[in-house]
Amino acid sequence: MISVYRLGDLVLLDLNKKEEDEILEDFPNSIASKYILEKRTSSNFNRVNTITDLVLKHIENNIDAFPNDISDSTLIHVRIGDVVAGNEWHEKIKRPLPVERIKSILYGNNDKKYVIGKSFFAKTSSRNYDECLKMSNEYLQNVLNELEATHFDSGNADIDLCCAIKAKVFVQGQGYFSKLIVEIRNKLHLKNIEIPK
C-alpha cells in the first residue's frame, strides 16, 4: 500500500540518496530511475530539461498506452489517498478541491474529460488507510459523475504523467506530482489550468 515512488518530490524537492536508491531498486526501468541516473552522471544536469526529455521519450515508446483522443481532451488530476482524510499537516494542505470548484472552472469546456489519480500513501502518511480509501473512492466517483469524465487508470504513475502531458488541457490537482506536470507542460507551451487553493 505504501509507495516510495514519489516522482514529483524527486524532481521538485530532491529526495535523499537512500530514497533515490530505493527507487532505483524497486523501479529500475522507470522515468524516476532514469532521472536519478542522469542526475548522478550528467555534467550539465537541468531538472526540467532532463525530466521533459525523459517523459517525451517515454511517450514515444508507449504511444499505444494512451486513449486515442487524449490530444483533444481535458485531463484532470485528483490527488487522493492519505490527503483525503489524513491527520498530518502535509496531508491537510493537499486536500482535494471541492468538485463544484473544479466544475465551475471547467464551465463551458466541452472537451472529452479524463481523470487521473489513485490512492497514494507514503511512509509519512497517516495510518487510517480504510477511512482514506473509502473517502477517496467516494470523492473520485463524485468527480467522475459531476464532470461526466472517464477515469484513466493505467496503474502506472509514469503512464499517467505522460497521458497528462499529451492532453489538450491539463487541470492541476494538489501535490508535487501535479506541480511537476505543470512544469513540464509549461516548458512545452501547453495549456494548464492551475487552481490555487
> Taking the chain, what is the end-to-end CA distance rounded to the nearest angstrom?
28
The residues facing 81 across adjacent strands are: 120
Domain 70-193 -> CATH class: alpha beta
160-187 pLDDT tens trace: 999 999 999 999 999 999 999 999 999 9
DSSP state of 161: H
The residue among 141, 130, 153 whose CA lies nearest residue 67 is 153
Give the domain ranges of the chain.
7-64, 70-193
Place of cell 532521472: 35
pLDDT in tens, 76-106: 999 999 999 999 999 999 999 999 999 999 9
Mark the ranges of the chain whose per-residue pLDDT is less than 50. none
